Structure 1
Amino acid sequence: SELGFAGEDPSDVEDMFALKYRGARFSLGYGACPDLEDRAKIAELLRPERIGVVLSEEFQLHPEQSTDAIVLHHPEASYFNAGGRRT
């Protein structure tokens, strides 16, 4: 809501799964960010050990359910896959 587009969310759950809304968040290891090893770069920047979160040798955050992100906003941004096809 702080970015001004919270009211644009679709009412149909299928549209939510089809990413027909702004504000989707994507994790490392998926489509647009396939290299899970990039998590080490984020950990270097964020220093999660300050709050008791550690990065394993397999690039997983512990404790379980921990999440990392670098979030950027641009009104024309969209998700894409490695093949370059926009969805």
Structure 2
Amino acid sequence: VSGADPARLAGMLRSEYQGCRYSLGYPACPDLADRAKIAVLLEPERIGVRLSEEFQLHPEQSTDAIVVHHPEAGYFNAGWRS
């Protein structure tokens, strides 16, 4: 990886960009039960979000992630390139 954003969408989908975003249930963090630990810390019910017995967030469009800062990190541009 060169550190620059990939020139094509296929490269973006293969995560050929610098930096990663980790979400529970995906390969880097496969155990959804870990979501309960995060819920204890963040108390999502304060903003109307609840965790089901299956470790799913409700309302349905709610999301969580683990975000780790690195001083050289940059967010990728999701715009189309020609």
**TM-superposed deviation, 1:26:** 2.6
- Gapped runs of 5+ residues in structure 1? 1-7, 77-87
- 2:63 maps to 67
CA RMSD, Structure 1 to Structure 2 (Å): 2.1
CA contact (8 A) 1:42 1:69 kept: no
**Residue correspondences, number:** 70
- 1:81 maps to none
Amino acid in structure 2 at the alignment position of 1:62: H
- Gapped runs of 5+ residues in structure 2? 74-82
Regions of 4+ moved over 6 Å: none
Q: What is the percent sequence identity of the aligned residues?
A: 70
**TM-score, with length taken from structure 2:** 0.74
**TM-superposed deviation, 1:38:** 0.0
Matches within 5 A, 1:22-37: 22-37=18-33
CA distance in 1, matches of 2:66, 2:28: 14
